[in-house]
A and B are shown apart, each in its own frame.
Chain A
Amino acid sequence: MKRNGLVLLLSGVIVLLGLVSGVTAEEGVTDTEIHIGQWGPQTGPAAAWGSVARGTDAYFKMINERGGIHGRKLIHHMFDDAYNPAKTKAGVKELQEGVGIFAWVGGVGTAPGLAVRDYLMERGVPWVGPSAGSRHWIDPPYKYLFAVYPLYEIEAKTLCRYAVANMGKKKIAIIYQNDDYGKNGLMGAKEELARSGLELVAEVPVNLTDGDLKPHVMKLKKSEAEVVLLWTTVKHALMTVGISKAMRFTPQFMSTSTCSDFPLMMHISKGAWEGVIAASFGELPDSDYPLMRTYKQEAFDQYAAKDERWGVFYSAGIVWAEPLVEAIRRCGPDLTRERLVQELEGLRDFKGISGNISYYPFDPNDPGCRQGQREVFLVQCLAGGKAKQLTDWATIE
């Protein structure tokens, strides 16, 4: 009898708790605020990518200045993880459990992201636009994780197709970093060339810590390549171009979007970067695209610190946040995470300052349902770091 009473009491409590959680709003959303979290290294080895989070911050401030979304202001909680995954996890947990974050945006780095991915997915917290190109985000796909960064193999394919079809080149070589990033580029290049019955004339791997690239460039020169794809870090890409010039080896260099900040590349290379063709996943900083100019004037000019630069990392912070903001807007006043996921899945050819973004209803067997952006375009570096657009937005599946 006593036992029955206890059971009754417990079930009563559970029902009450259910009612309570039923009437309270979604975590991180109040009548006036939406809490969005983001990590990004402001100190440590990757501090150069810190401008990504600052770009998102300025973008949110601009939206708030215009009145927010359905009367709610975006409260941006960004923290410095120094690119240390242990710190990323600590900070994410602190904000998620302390403040209550509705959704996460951006987040620089594969390793920091992987350290918190399971935590966020188990809790069902949406995360839009990890700031690193990696298959880890979409393969296997997760219901609450929406990737924006186009895969590196798409960039490689687009560059190769341009070299073969538009420039009539036949001898293409690649120097690639010996990891996930480099191998994705290698794979893309091989697949695309195979379509036109071609093969790479040289595949030169380079390790992150290699200090001297002369032997690597010698191999490239021996292969008599007309086009060399640079799938390395910025530092190694610059070294390759510099050493090649010294060796009087002058192929057409092509690089990934990670090296598409032309003013910066020209500055460091003292002009050697001129003529290089790069892929880009977002409108360039000095583009005339109207939305880009709006962001420059209303976000950057208003809210950036005085020594901030309107560069590709800074605007990338806006690129990651655009689909999230659009989906929140489409949710209307009744904002929940489930609704947000529905609205994100409903995005078709959404155009911000990156290529078109589309997501599809969740399918555990289709990584494509969570890969939003598939388009890149090609630009060439001109004197003074100016960029000449070579192609329109396009994708190659």
Chain B
Amino acid sequence: MDMKRDYYEDVQLCTSGVVVFWLVALLIGLAAFPFLASSYTLYMANFLAINVIVVIGLNILVGYAGQVSLGHAGFFAIGAYGTVILMSEAQLPFFAALVLAALIAAAFGFLLGLPALRLEGPYLAIATLGFGLTITQIIGRIELFGGRQGLHTPDLIIGPWHLESDRDFYFLLIPITVLLAIAARNLTKTKIGRALIAIRDAEIAAETLGVNIMGYKTLAFAISAFYAGIGGGLFAFVLRFIEPEIFTLLMSIMFLAMVVVGGLGSIMGSITGACLLGWLDLQLRNILEIPYLGTWLEALSQEWFSITGVSNIQLIVFGTIMVLIMLFEPLGLFGFWIRAKKYWKTWPF
């Protein structure tokens, strides 16, 4: 299925009227959501939207360009600190600060992309990991950045609009997320997207076809870092407080896990992956309150585990879900979607 017959079909943003319909339905749903949900649910939605932004960006790097990064918490931190500092110290308005901070993150992404030209696989993973760890160390030692004591975000005022509640942030975050998702989708349909895929699938073949490997690889890092920077800048305001210890290695790993679980090389996969893992990460601590399963797990942990075992069960469940998804569908959540689509293709006839 999804056979492409000409070039224009390949570069279309939406493949059919049905897709457009559901997309519009989704947008209406997103717009109506804040009027139905509680403040806590909206906080969670904002948190997930930020994950979505970062994961879409990371997927451009990992899924499309075939590179790997264990340092995205570093770009995320640059975006967060950059936005806050540019606003409080340089008195820039919010959007200017956000974009500028993301561009700074992109510049760091470009720099990190340079060694990536010579490294691949596990070696690249270690190089990016080093970057992620270093950034938080550096930030932690600079007085301007609040050192280890962190920074409080300034009040967020955009024109006449003073953003205070989670609902306000939702109305800021969702349009940005949607725009960035469409931009990423568009990117993958252009020359850049095709070049990245070519590099991923066969670097030497791509080079012989005239693809500028150095240019596109570093560009992939820069774009990916830009997305992470935007996500970080928004995250600072959702949390209203940042400090270096928030941006840990575990955060980088979670971003990467979201990409892989969602589905490599798929924007929709990134969105679902980020939402599912982000949601589980926040909600699994309530696992013991699920009827039957919760009591069973509690009994199990009292029998076999130490005192903090009950809490650690959430991590075990989290890991198990990830393993199961990868085991049954290596393409991730996006793979489930493809299979379901194939299965129902001829329905109702």
Contact = CB atoms under 8 A, between A and B. Distances in A.
Interface of A: 42-43, 47, 50, 54, 79-80, 84-87, 89-91, 93-94, 96-98, 110-111, 114-115, 118, 136, 178-180, 207-209, 305, 307-308
Given A42-B311, A89-B43, A114 B241 contact: yes
B240 A97 contact: no
29 contacts: A43-B312, A43-B314, A43-B315, A50-B308, A80-B314, A85-B246, A86-B235, A87-B281, A89-B43, A90-B40, A90-B43, A90-B44, A93-B43, A94-B40, A97-B39, A111-B241, A111-B246, A114-B150, A114-B241, A115-B241, A178-B141, A178-B148, A179-B147, A179-B148, A180-B147, A208-B140, A209-B137, A307-B306, A307-B307
A86 B308 contact: no
Contacts of B150: 111, 114
A180 B44 CA distance: 31
A38 to B, nearest CB: 13
A52 to B, nearest CB: 13
Contact of B285 (A50, A80, A93, A97): A80
Nearest to B285: A80
Contacts of B312: 42-43
Contacts of A110: 149
Contacts of A90: 40, 43-44, 47, 282
B20 to A, nearest CB: 34
A136 B307 CA distance: 32
Given A87-B281, A307-B306, 20 more contacts: A42-B311, A47-B308, A54-B307, A79-B285, A80-B285, A80-B311, A80-B314, A85-B239, A85-B241, A89-B43, A93-B40, A94-B40, A97-B39, A111-B246, A115-B240, A118-B240, A136-B149, A208-B140, A208-B148, A307-B307
Nearest to A41: B311
B38 interface: yes
A276 B306 CA distance: 31
Given A111-B241, A111-B245, A114-B150, A43 B282 contact: no
Contacts of B235: 86
A180 B239 contact: no
Contacts of B308: 42-43, 47, 50
A83 B233 CA distance: 21
A89 B314 contact: no
Interface string B127-157: 0000000000100110000011110100000
Interface in B285-310: 285, 306-308, 310
Nearest to A92: B40
A79 B39 CA distance: 19
Contacts of A180: 147-149
Nearest to B240: A118
Contact of A115 (B38, B239, B281, B314): B239
A239 to B, nearest CB: 19
Nearest to A47: B308
B249 to A, nearest CB: 11
Contacts of B241: 85, 111, 114-115, 118
Interface-centre pick from B40, B44, B246 (highest chain A CB count, 10 A) = B40
A221 B306 CA distance: 42
Contacts of A86: 47, 235, 239, 246
Given A85-B246, A90-B44, A208-B148, A43 B311 contact: yes
A103 B246 CA distance: 26
Contacts of A47: 308, 311
Given A80-B311, A86-B47, A179-B149, A97 B38 contact: yes
Contacts of B314: 43, 80
Contacts of B39: 93, 97
A85 B247 CA distance: 11
A207 B141 CA distance: 9
Contact of B311 (A50, A93, A94, A97): A50
Nearest to A97: B40
Nearest to B147: A179
Interface-centre pick from B39, B43, B47 (highest chain A CB count, 10 A) = B43
A363 B270 CA distance: 51
Interface string B218-258: 00000000000000000100011101011000000000000
Contacts of A89: 43, 239
Interface-centre pick from A87, A91, A114, A207 (highest chain B CB count, 10 A) = A114
A211 B277 CA distance: 34
Contact of A91 (B149, B285, B315): B285
A91 B141 CA distance: 30
A316 to B, nearest CB: 17
Contacts of A305: 307
Contacts of A85: 239, 241, 243, 246
A35 to B, nearest CB: 15
Contacts of B315: 43
A322 to B, nearest CB: 23
For the complex of A and B, the 6 pairs showing the least CB-CB separation, nearest first, are A42-B311, A179-B148, A93-B40, A305-B307, A80-B311, A97-B40
A29 B243 CA distance: 35
A110 B152 CA distance: 13
Nearest to B282: A90
Nearest to B307: A305
A96 B166 CA distance: 14
Nearest to A182: B148
A39 B240 CA distance: 18
A209 to B, nearest CB: 7
Contacts of B281: 87
